[in-house]
Amino acid sequence: MLMKFLFFGIFVAIMIGVGIYSKKKVNNAQDFLLGGRTMGPWISAFAYGTTYFSAVIFIGYAGKNGWNFGISAVWIGVANAILGCLLSWLVLAKRTRKMTHDLNVSTMPEFFEKRYDSKGLKIVASIIIFVFLVPYSASVYQGLSYLIEKTIAEPLAATLGITISFEAIMLIMAALTGIYLLLGGYVATAINDLIQGIIMIVGIILMVAFVVNHQNVGGITEGLSRLSQIPDVGDGLVKPFGPQPLSLLSLIILTSLGTWGLPQMIHKFYAVKDDDSIKKATIVSTIFATLISGGAYFIGVFGRLFVSLDEIGGDLDRIVPTMLEKALPDYLMGIVIILVLSASMSTLSSLVLVSSSAISMDLVKGVFFPKMKSEKVMVLMRVLCALFVAFSFIVAVRPSSILTLMSLSWGTVAGSFLAPFLYGLYWKGTTKVGAWSGMIVGFLCSVGGAMIFGLKNAPNVGAIAMLVSLIVVPVVSFFTAKLPSTHINMIYGEEDNKQKLAS
């Protein structure tokens, strides 16, 4: 117990210390949001990776999907590394950095406005971001709270009689996020991401080693053999593509392709220093994703060998916390707590930054008060950061599945933005009506589908929303009025000149 508190205390002190240090480097709204666009390869790679993976993957996704899909759940981790990380950097990073620099934009809604000459797109995108990233943030708080409740709060109550409620744990986490983010903005987030990423790598390697070698598993081969012997479901748990291949495919699309349309992920490409940094960051972030995502899902595969449904009251979000408490020694649980905290705090800070900027920079300054001074924008951004954290806490205290909250958020945001953003980067023929159509159809598919088919089907609905939007945008663009050539030349001017010279 002492080791857990010691690790937790050191972690909190480092985070706040980085926030105080970073405060000196934040002089305006651009510094607060993008860190001056001077982030090197290692910081950029770890910022991307730690934003990608949070308590949601370790607590919610790994446990529930490992329970349902068995060994095939590892395919989600593989896809996260290849499609969600490697290809995302290769396809989007360089182009995104160049266009956002050329157009002088700092957010995804601002990109939509400039690319499609539509202030309406910016307004709608800003609202979608602020509203629908709240459920994702709430799911992260829930995941954190499940872990801390199991590993710290319950032992504390048993030994000292001190009771800390689930809601109190979430409130503490929310306050901690707000403090260090409000102090240092993106600079604090990026530095902490590097520190937290290193902790995550060490932690996941130790977690995999202890779980696989625990007596309940007995090594990889023996563990899979024991899974195959579980009555009624054993055969499906060891199949290469699991008992539900279509549901597995939906989760792969949602969690891997979804990163291509999430503003908190794309935001990392805005802030990269140069093209050389992008090349290095691509390699580092892919290795990081392979270790973290692959390791997390691999651990979740063996959940059935450690816990029963009766033991966790049927709540699959409690599988991994319960399993780890049994499998790991006390000192290592301290590291695991810090691992999940690290993953979650970096994700939360990115969510808060993107959401607050959507309202402060894109709506308030961009639409209503264009002459607002940078100092006032930064103050407003900090206020909105606190407000977003408060909204996330309110949603998090309502009982709901982590998987459901995250899927609804990713499906709606990525379903709305993925196609307009991707086609907008590369295809000059993408029209304003095409972008509007993709955004509206993706949004309606995700939200409407969840309402019609139930929130439990949010992963499937979210994946469909992205794919449908990718089809709708080019189809509609072929049959609708093109943007003026002068506007297109302004957006792709340098590329046009290069093509003319080449021909």
Domain ranges of the chain: 1-502
> DSSP secondary-structure letter at 481?
P
In this predicted structure, the answer to whether residue 38 has a pLDDT above a threshold of 80 is no
The confidence score (pLDDT) of residue 454 equals: 80
Q: Does the pLDDT value for residue 392 go beyond 60?
A: yes
- Percent of the chain at pLDDT > 90 equals 32
Higher pLDDT, 286 or 322: 286
Mean pLDDT of 244-261: 91
Task: Enumerate the H helices of 55-165 as residue ranges.
Answer: 55, 62-69, 74-81, 87-88, 94-103, 108-116, 119-132, 134-148, 154-160
Local structure of residue 231 (DSSP, 8 states): T
What is the structure's pLDDT at 430? 95
Greatest CA separation for the chain: 78
How many Cβ atoms sit within 10 Å of the Cβ of residue 158? 10
pLDDT confidence of residue 185: 58
Q: DSSP secondary structure string, 313-326?
A: TT-GGGHHHHHHHH
- pLDDT tens for each residue of 220-246: 999 999 999 998 888 888 888 888 888
Contacts of 152 (CB under 8 A, 6+ apart): 1, 4, 5, 8, 164, 337
pLDDT higher than 70, residue 323: yes
Which of residues 186 and 435 earns the better pLDDT score?
A: 435
Q: What is the per-residue pLDDT for 503?
A: 39
Higher local confidence (pLDDT), 8 or 311: 311
pLDDT band per the 50, 70, 90 thresholds, residue 369: confident
At residue 479, the pLDDT reads: 93
**Partner residues linked to 39 by β-bridges:** 272
Q: What is the pLDDT of residue 290?
A: 94
Confidence of residue 443 (pLDDT cuts 50, 70, 90): very high
* Helix (H) or strand (E) run with residue 470 in it: helix 458-478
Element (H, E) at 185: helix 166-212
Highest mean pLDDT range out of 52-56, 129-133, 228-232, 419-423?
A: 419-423
Put residue 117 in one of left, alpha, beta given phi > 0 → left and psi -120 to 50 → alpha: left
Higher pLDDT, 178 or 386: 386
Half-sphere exposure of 415 (CA within 13 A, CB side): 31
Residue 434's closest CA among 468, 482, 466? 482
- pTM of the predicted model as reported, rounded to 2 decimal places: 0.82
Lookup result for tokens 């999430």: 262
Which CATH code for domain 1-502? 1.20.1730.10
| pLDDT for residue 478 is more than 90 | yes
pLDDT in tens, 193-203: 777 788 788 88
DSSP assignment of 272-327 equals B--HHHHHHHHHHHHHHHHHHHHHHHHHHHTGGGT--TTTTTT-GGGHHHHHHHHH
